[in-house]
Amino acid sequence: MLLDTKIALVTGGGTGIGKAIAGAMLAEGAKVIIIGRTESKLLQAQAELGSGVEIMVCDITIEPQVAKVYETIMSNHGKLDILINNAGTSFKEKAYELSYESWKKVIDINLNGAFLCARDAMKIMVNQKSGRIINIGSISGQMGRPLNAPYTSSKFGIEGLTRAFALDGRDHGVAVSVIHPGNVATNIISKDEIPKREKEGFVLLEDLGKLAVTMLTMSPNVNILGSVILPITQPYLGRG
């Protein structure tokens, strides 16, 4: 129970990577709060993950809603040990055909929302002189791909956000990190499909959960600043 007594918040925790990391932390004894915009997804995740999970509906692009989440956590638990800054969105479109509305939607969720959540978490953690924040980036934040201008830009921004918050938190015992995943098997798949997905070059959600727990359970004076997790077959390194 490596995270026993820890209070953790996961944004976008109703599905995919967020839910997987929430489950991994629960297995290690943490009390987990998951937030998202869609209550039905949160309720389904809560039913699947079991006891130890609290849910709150929140749009992370709306500052008062984010503030309310942290007020509730402090009222109910008196502390916050972990933030998994995971909520995000994306779509495919040529950069020169992109509307400002579409651009702004992605940047607001992926970067501005991440800032609001990290900022309010950091206020608590600086005051208590401890805490860990993990931002979920992407290898698109290191090497862009076509038809992804707002997503790529937002994930490059997450790298900068991580470094800035890590600098401002280090004198107060707060560690800030980023995970850059490659292709992840985020759709709902049957167990029979898992070996196929491995061969096709997807990181399984359970492996992301393991990585997050490893980063969260370092000694208090140690931070894994950044980690890249990707299938060994993904054409990311070198020129394939």
Catalytic residue numbers?
A: 151
- What's the CA gap between 47 and 49, in Å, rounded? 6
Answer for the pair 134, 85: CB distance below 8 angstroms, yes or no.
Answer: yes
- What's the CA gap between 207 and 213, in Å, rounded? 10
- Residue 222 phi/psi, 5° resolution? -120, 135
> Is the alpha carbon torsion for 118, 124, 128, 129 positive or negative?
positive
**140 CB-contact burial (10 Å; exposed 0-12 / middle 13-18 / buried 19+):** buried
**232 CB-contact burial (10 Å; exposed 0-12 / middle 13-18 / buried 19+):** exposed
E strand residue ranges, the chain: 7-11, 31-36, 53-57, 82-85, 131-136, 174-181, 226-229
Tell which residue, 110, 216, 123, has the closest CA to residue 158.
110
